[in-house]
Structure 1
Amino acid sequence: MAILRTSRSRIATAAIVTLAVVGLGTFGAMRVSANAPEKAAAPLPEVDVATVVPQTVTDWQSYSGRLEAVEKVDVRPQVSGTIVAVNFKDGALVKKGDVLFVIDPRPYQAEVDRAAAQLAGAQARNGYAQSDWQRAQRLIGDNAIAKRDYDEKQNAAREASANLKAAEAALETARINLGYTRITAPVSGRVSRAEITLGNVVSAGASAAPLTTLVSVSPIYASFDADEQTYLQYINGARNGRKVPVELGLANETGYSRSGEIDSVDNRLDTSSGTIRVRARFDNADGALVPGLYARVKVGGSAPHQALLVDDAAINTDQDKKFVFVVDQQGRVSYREVQQGMQHGNRRVIVSGLSAGDRVVVNGTQRVRPGEQVKPHMVPMTGGDAPSAPLASTAKPAAPAKADS
């Protein structure tokens, strides 16, 4: 019995010790938990936000077109003969009146000399016939000459006068043909290559092969097809004398480097395409614009007016709707449906849905949802013309708690 009581006493003592250890452990854990800092809240998402401000804009419509020379000439010979001189380099700039080709002038100079000799003979015969008729006029008054002889002398005088005029015309024609042996530039511009070279024989006439082509340099046309709405809203004013501004950019340019104006509008609308042919004129003093080049053309028709412009990157699409995220003064995000207008560079006119002073998310829209709170980082409304300022650095994570010694 004594042994049994001793065993029970030892078991009870061990149980008490175990409970004491567990209690101390629980108390220590509760103490450490009480001293540990609370878990840090998640940082707010940071986004770039820009303020909507009204700006003065002019509405433009953009088109694609081709450059065309104001004057284009196929240089053809007007007399036949052998090419004895080519006085230009392929692709050179020439002035009006510069001699481009020379055809052998000797046959034509001989024709001039022959016509001049014939003219001298006609002048002599005409002088004699006129004097003879004047004598006959005096004699007929005294009845000293027969009426038939008088009529013959009068007719001879008239015939001699006509022959004189024919000889003068023949000499003028010969001189013109001699002048045609020197083929000159009819306009100032840039020549193509010489299609007919030195020593070749050429024929005259409109059906003859061109010797070269010549295009004017400045000004230059840009032709494009405008739709009916643009014609009615913008271009039609050009018919009434109003200057319609036009800007031009080439394929290798991102913007529009040259300004011009509408020069002419076709007399009818093409019903099959719904467009009308328009031609704009641009200065090309540096000769950089070449006929045939692709051109981007934009036409401005409205008077300058105030409008709200928003960076294209801030505008989102929800099926057939356009919307932006607006951030209030408390940093709360809201969904705002907008109606778009004309595009200006990388910015878009907002017709409705926004007011001046509204703050819209322009970078980081994928990180926000309506109703959430964000940390806005204010940037200018660049519209893509300049990069937005970088986002502020994210919040640092909370440092781990130090254990008590």
Structure 2
Amino acid sequence: MDGPTEVNVNFCRVDNGIVQNGTDNLEQQLQSFINMDFTERLSDQKIAMSVEDKRFMTMMEESVTKVHGHYETVLPLRDRAVKMPNNKVQADMFGLRLQRKLKTNEKLASEYTEFMENLEKKGYAEKVPDQDVDRNDGNVWYIPHHAVYHPKKPDKIRVVFNCPIQYKGVSLNEQLLSGPDLTNRLYGVLMRWRQENVAIMADIEAMFYQVRVRKDDCDLLRYLWWPEGNFDGGMKEYRMLVHLFGAVSSPSCANFALKRTASDNQHRFQDKVIESVINDFYVDDFLKSVATDEEGIQIYRDLKEIMASGGFKLGKWVSNSKRLLESIPEDDRAKELKGLDLENDELPKERALGVQWCVEKDQLEFNITKVNEKATRRNILSVMSAVLFTCKETDTDQRSTKPKTIPVCLTTTKNPTENPQTEISH
């Protein structure tokens, strides 16, 4: 008898029969249950693309071209025939709010103006030509924008475009396909970076802005700004020419262009260079380790060349090898390494994928800051997520399983996720 059967016994009923692959199924179910809370999966299994993700990839493959040395794609709209409402009145309203804020904060106004002017100077944006200003065919959208500062980089401003904002029930992000997650697993990038003796780190300058948007779609990326930062004058219309921060599709578009750079250059570079482009980036951060200084020097040269062929500039180079650093021009080195006496000075600490890298000793450090908030389950998980466990290879099993057990403990604690009145004992 292949199926389960039910048998009446004293006090209860018992189901019995043959269970096919019971242990394997239990392990898979347990792994799936645990992995629901963690993006860094233990398994290397590839998740099949959804129908929408396949549509996104088809759009990219069919539209991608090279313009002035950069890849150019369409905006991946869900419906190419979509008609957007005219939301200029909304952009005007947000512009007036921003104007009041900038007039009362001189430092913010100066940094904001410099950022916006650089968009035009570097070819990332342009003033809307007079003949296109009155375009009104449903293919125009105005995006409000605001400034953000990274907690770790308080002196560096970034202007983010508010693509999720709605007008009459419509937003730009809702019209865009987000695309598949083409980002490499952070854990894998970090582990490969620790394999060999010579560690290397670099950064793609303004990664999203290096991938251009097809001209027909640029009017969906309009914004308002004051020419030359004259806040007493009228706002003029501009439009982005590249994929921007804030658009839900930009990460996948940028990663598509990055991997396209690798595939388009397979005939020009060795396999290990192509594999580095495919596997050793986490978004715009490049981390790789090699066995010798000579390999590191060659990787620097090859990566600079292949990335430039895709329109990407790889800079802010750092390494624990002073010999490798000597071969890198100062302009290509990280800010903290410029002007450094490599023979006598100690290499400074750098941040690498959220952790502190002591470059001189080639060690990872963790700066633990006291959390002044009530210990809710959400806050505990937030602190845990900020720490990456990087141990020796012999500790792999312990390192992999320990973070998984803590959330299970939290589920048995009678403490609401968002109840600041209830504390967890430390």
TM range (shorter): under 0.3
Larger Rg: 1
Q: Return the structure number with greater helix share.
A: 2
Q: Return the structure number with greater strand share.
A: 1
